[in-house]
Amino acid sequence: MSRLVMKFGGTSVADLDRIRRVARHVKREVDAGHEVAVVVSAMAGETNKLVKLCREASLMHDAREYDAVVASGEQVTAGLLAIVLQSIGVDARSWLGWQIPLRTDAAHGVARIADIDSRTLLDRMSRQQVAVVAGFQGVAPDNRIATLGRGGSDTSAVALAAALGAERCDIYTDVDGVYTTDPRIVSGARRLPKIAFEEMLEMASLGAKVLQVRSVELAMVHGVRTFVRSSFDDPDAPQVGEDNLPIGTLICDEDEIVEKQLVTGIAYSRDEAKVTLRRVEDRPGVAATIFGALADQAINVDMIVQNISEDGRTTDITFTVTTADFDRALALIEGMRPGVAMEMVSGSSDVAKVSVIGIGMRSHAGVAAEAFKALAARGINIQLITTSEIKISILIDAAYTELAVRTLHSIYELDKT
């Protein structure tokens, strides 16, 4: 008998009809003999409403009370699903984060999981009781409710799967797997049967919205085999696809992937802004001062390119931030000019990042050259380039985003099986 964690996102539990469909998915796994724990998100739109209420109550609200309010959405869903499961003959009980307990650090609103005491859940599950766990939440050292940040239910599910020693963690969402790129842009995008943890981590961090980045990190660290599946599939239909695996995408160690593709997927993000510092004094410590100040203000910097002048006295520095941080970053840099000599500061939010990802790139040359040649043939100018062992990211004008994605998807033949 295997142990299974099933996670259902907000669109999957948006109303009672969808919760009843979720209950049928859970019952199917229980009837198959699995020990099951279920992690649920708040009903679609509910967390946004609760966040809005907190902000309307006070812009400078207490983070601990904010957590108490926004965590209630998952509590409602967990209770409703447990009731529906009981109504169809499945023994079920709802659990909040503090009841397990799932312990976190003290960073209310963006807490990280420190420990999960799984003993009580394991005991109940061994007696065929389904544990319906409210995701996104735990208990902080001050004994108050703490939330894990937006998308935190994915993290709750993977962490719970690791703590329970589950055979796998099934993430049910409104898509039926991970695709080679966004199917809304490329009609020929294919669902991937398998993808390596590292590739999924890159795709999640570079714009793919299927999974939260922290959940993929946890899955990779703890070796939790994770499936992305659709909650809208008929619960009574056949559930097995390739290699006798559930229909969806398996996120796993690359050793499980026999045929490694040169390129696995194309990701993109329009949530990008570029900041350029011209003719900055080139001396030790200047970069540390600039990026240290940005870090102190919790402004996350992504792509960084530095060019030294011919005389070696000045340098140009260009970096990217999220569009939400763009104005703050510009204001912060402008405020540093009395202490850091620079000729000018400029920026643009009309840019996008497009990335080519694949573990097969480790052992093949010419991947970047092929991409640059294809983009040039389409008249797409590249503003910045960064690379890693399994990724190439380029910054381009936002107007060319879809053309770039289609071009790269085509040249690497990702629309072919």
Full-model pTM = 0.85
Cα–Cα distance measured from residue 111 to residue 123, given in angstroms and rounded to the nearest whole number: 27
Residue 136 is labelled as binding a ligand: no
Domain that holds residue 375: 265-411
Q: Residue 380 in 3-state DSSP? A: coil
| 227 and 340 housed in the same domain | no
Neighbours of 329 (CB within 10 A): 23
Locate 403 and state its tokens.
Answer: 């053309």
Is the confidence at residue 255, as pLDDT, over 90?
A: no
Residue 9 is labelled as binding a ligand: yes
Closest CA to 7 of 327, 291, 296, 226: 226
| 239 and 374 housed in the same domain | no
Residue 174 is labelled as binding a ligand: yes
- pLDDT given for residue 225 in this prediction: 94
- pLDDT given for residue 287 in this prediction: 87
| 246 and 270 housed in the same domain | no
Say which residue the tokens 């739109």 belong to.
45
- What's the rounded mean pLDDT across residues 334-349? 85
Residue 223 is labelled as binding a ligand: no
Whether 288 and 265 have beta carbons less than 8 Å apart is answered as no
- pLDDT given for residue 339 in this prediction: 78
Is 260 inside a domain boundary? no
- Over residues 374-405, the pLDDT tens digits come to 999 999 999 999 988 899 999 999 999 999 99
Whether 47 and 76 have beta carbons less than 8 Å apart is answered as no
344-357 vs 249-252, strand pairing mode: unpaired
Whether 291 and 270 have beta carbons less than 8 Å apart is answered as no
| 398 and 272 housed in the same domain | yes
Burial class (CB in 10 A: 0-12, 13-18, 19+), 271: middle
Residue 209 is labelled as binding a ligand: yes
Indicate the number of domains in the chain. Answer: 2
pLDDT confidence band for 280 (50 / 70 / 90) = confident
Residue 173 is labelled as binding a ligand: yes
Q: What are the φ and ψ backbone dihedral angles of 30, each rounded to 5 degrees? A: -65, -45
